[in-house]
């Protein structure tokens, strides 16, 4: 067992957008657009800290069964976020079911990694079963995504909700009670400080 420094790969589950909107008397779907600026702030922080790879839970195939205004809202927010980080400089890969109308057209160029800089794996129209089904042909479909060291989830939920099951097997899991639109840089600071104090065993 060794103490760690900075994680090499961090997963982010930005949950709580709808609860945040409801709390403010807004329609649920209004919450998503308030998640874009926090996402960009978090992206800049990770770049500055020198974290080499991050994975972000955009939306899942299950999410596309929600009410239509919500679907339009999270798709739109995901596209805006992804294109903006690509513009700012990232090696962006979109991971999700590609041959599907649920994957926004704007994200299709990133089915292979594009750009240079911090690696960002953005899960869009993702489903863990779709991912694992690749093993029937010898490799998971998210094969290009490395093992996660740390996962940070906002919104208080203590579960993975289908987030990259293979890459999550040894990851430390840090939960922020605040809803995602209330993101503060301190959340990441606290998660990283906590992470440094966890023993690494990798199953050993």
Residues 6+ apart with CB under 8 A from 37: none
| N residues, the chain | 204
**Interface size with a copy of itself, residues (CB under 8 A):** 31
Q: Does 68 bind a copy of itself (CB under 8 A)?
A: no
Instruction: Output the six-digit token pair for 174.
Output: 């840090």
Between 119 and 127, CB nearer to a copy of itself: 127
With tokens 């094969």, the residue in question is 143
Non-local (6+) Cβ contacts of 137 within 8 A are none
Asked if 65 is part of the footprint of a copy of itself (rule: CB under 8 A), the reply reads yes
Q: Which of 23, 169, 186, 189: binder of a copy of itself (CB under 8 A)?
A: 169
Judged by CB under 8 A, does residue 197 bind a copy of itself?
Answer: no
Beta pairing partners, 114:
92
- Examine residue 158 and tell whether it contacts a copy of itself (CB under 8 A): yes
Q: Which stretch binds a copy of itself (CB under 8 A): 4-12, 25-33, 109-117, 130-138?
A: 130-138
- Gyration radius of the chain over CA positions: 16
Find the shortest distance in angstroms from Cβ 136 to a copy of itself.
Answer: 6
Return the sign of the alpha-carbon dihedral for residues 5, 10, 13, 17. positive
Q: Binding to a copy of itself by residue 31, rule CB under 8 A? A: no
Task: Tell me if 99 contacts a copy of itself by CB under 8 A.
Answer: no
Applying CB under 8 A, which of residues 24, 133, 189, 193 lies at the interface with a copy of itself? 133
- Element housing 95 (H / E): strand 91-95
173 binds a copy of itself (CB under 8 A): yes
DSSP state letters, 9-73:
EEEEE---HHHHHHHTT--TTHHHHTTHHHHHHHHHHHHHHT--EEEEEEEETGGGGS-HHHHHH
By CB under 8 A, name the one of 13, 171, 176, 188 that touches a copy of itself. 171
> Rounded to the nearest whole angstrom, what is the least distance from the CB of residue 60 to a copy of itself in the complex?
6
200 beta partners? 2
Q: Give me the residues that bind a copy of itself (CB under 8 A), please.
A: 60, 62-63, 65-66, 128, 132-133, 135-136, 138, 157-162, 165-166, 168-174, 198, 201-204
């Amino acid at each position: 067992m060794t103490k760690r420094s900075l994680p090499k790969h961090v997963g982010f589950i930005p949950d709580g957008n709808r609860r945040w909107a409801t709390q403010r008397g807004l329609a649920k779907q209004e919450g998503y657009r308030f998640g874009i600026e926090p996402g960009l702030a978090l992206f800049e922080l990770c770049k500055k800290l020198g974290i080499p790879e991050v994975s972000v839970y955009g939306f899942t195939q299950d999410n596309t069964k929600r009410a239509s205004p919500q679907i339009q809202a999270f798709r739109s927010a995901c596209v805006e976020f992804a294109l903006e980080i690509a513009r700012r400089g990232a090696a962006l890969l979109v991971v999700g079911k590609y041959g599907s109308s649920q994957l926004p057209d704007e994200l299709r160029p990133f089915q292979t990694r594009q750009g240079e800089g911090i690696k960002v794996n953005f899960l869009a129209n993702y489903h863990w079963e779709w991912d694992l089904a690749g093993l029937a042909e010898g490799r998971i479909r998210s094969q290009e995504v490395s093992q996660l060291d740390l996962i940070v989830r906002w919104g208080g939920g203590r579960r993975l909700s289908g987030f990259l099951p293979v890459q999550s097997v040894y990851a430390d899991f840090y939960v922020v009670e605040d809803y995602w639109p209330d993101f503060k840089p301190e959340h990441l600071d606290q998660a990283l400080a906590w992470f440094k104090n966890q023993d690494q065993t990798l199953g050993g």
